[in-house]
Structures are given as structure tokens and as C-alpha cells.
Amino acid sequence: MRRHFVYHITAAGLVLLLAACASSPLGHRQLQLFSQSELAQMGAESYRQIKQETPISHNAAINNYVACVARALTRQVGGDWEITVFKSEQINAFALPGGKIGVYTGLLDVAQGQNQLAAVIGHEIGHVLADHSNARLSAQFATSAGLQIIAALAGGAGTVSQQAAMSALGLGAQVGLLLPYSRGQESEADLIGLQIMARAGFDPRAAIDLWQNMSRAGGAAPPELLSTHPSNQARMQSLRNHMGEAMRLYRQAQNHPHCG
């Protein structure tokens, strides 16, 4: 009786998951279980927390420079975007649903010049445009729900052997589903960002220079199989493969920004 009930729950869950599938800008199928308003609310809350926990840079020259690059990019995608520069040695930047962009000052030592900075911010905007936060949260939610169903089918994870099996299954889901899915998102954001920066008048060839700098700054990187990001070499090759179209967009750009 118990298994019969769980099978019905599983079938209903599969129907819901299939209904929630959507296509990303580059045609990849992905789950979207959350509404845009929910994501914007989560993005705003995360942004608020980061601003509370991380010092904000008040250097006018740096703020104007980052804003100049970011505004040129966001004009290509529309929307109202808030931009904050954080005073931190982290080599990082992010964009969140709801139009939030954060850039850490440590990134400016590696992203040399406006074109390389545009490659980073364009990449982060690409994540938002592709709804990757929704897809990642949905994948994690679906994986967690699936593991709970399997545990119920197994009669509960009460014994030591069952607990060990469930732990192994959880690791398999992490390595086999969530991490490769994240690598796919990173590659897609690279290509979306490449198009955005080119249309905004930033030289897309700088994206390859950026990842060469990142490679030198990154030190020992984890194996690509266990990483949420493609290797620097893999992403540079993907960028080269799509550079022809990006250069065409760059040459057609109406304006070529001049940021400090």
C-alpha cells in the first residue's frame, strides 16, 4: 500500500516537472519551478545581506568606472539595474534576479581594462537572462525531492546499510546532476555575455584575455569533473568557436564606450 501510494506521488511529480520545463536563450531545456517575482524577491534579499556583510567601496573613480561599463551592458538588455562595488580582495562579480549587480574591487586587478570587465559583468548578466538561478534552485529542489521518494520506496533509511546507500546516492546526484548542470550554465552564460558585450561595443576578444588572466590568478584548480565551472582552457576554446559572430556584432555596434 505504501509503495503504491509513493508510485502515484512519483508519477504526479514527474508530470509537474515536465510541465515546468522551459528553454534557455540558447535552447537548453531546464526546470523553472519558481516565479519571476519569487526570484526577484530572493535576489533583493540576497543583495541586501551582501551589502550588510561586505564593505562598500566609496572610491568615486572606481564606482564611476564600473557603473560606466555595467550601464553600457544593461542598456542592451533593458530593465532597471542597481550596481554596487564592494571593497574586497575577492576576484568576483555577480548579478542577481531583480536587476542587482555586484563587483568586488579585487576583480579589477585581474580584469584589466573596460573590455575584460565587460566580459565578466556580461557573463553574470547572462546568468540572469537565462534564468539560471531558477534552474539551479529547481534542480536542487527536484533532486532533494527525488532522494526522499527513493528513501520512502526503500522503506525508510533507518538501517546503517540504507543510510550508507542514501549517502552514496546523494553524492552521485551531486556529481552526476547538479555539478555538470552548473558547468552547462557557466558555458551558456559565457556565450550570452559574449554577445551582450559585443553589441554594447566592447571588444569580445578581451573575453579570452580575461580567462588567460584568470588562469594565471587562479592557482591550482579542481578537476573539471568536480567543479561547477568549466576549465579555463575549455571555456576559452568555446569562446574562440563563437568569436566570428561576436566580432560581427562588435563591428555593427552603434557606440564603443570609453569608460575611465
How far is Cα 164 from Cα 151, in angstroms, rounded to an integer? 12
Known catalytic residue: 82? Answer: no
b/e map 74-100, b = 16+ CB within 10 Å: bebbeeebebbbbebeebebbbbbbbb
Spatial CA neighbour of 214 closest among 243, 200, 235: 235
How far is Cα 63 from Cα 90, in angstroms, rounded to an integer? 16
Could you say which of 45, 82, 89, 124 is catalytic? 124
How far is Cα 73 from Cα 86, in angstroms, rounded to an integer? 19
Please provide the distance, in angstroms rounded to a whole number, between the alpha carbons at the two ends of the chain: 69
State phi, psi for 104 to the nearest 5 degrees: -95, 140
Check if the beta carbon of residue 92 is closer than 8 Å to that of residue 73.
Answer: no
How far is Cα 103 from Cα 60, in angstroms, rounded to an integer? 14
Catalytic (active-site) positions:
124
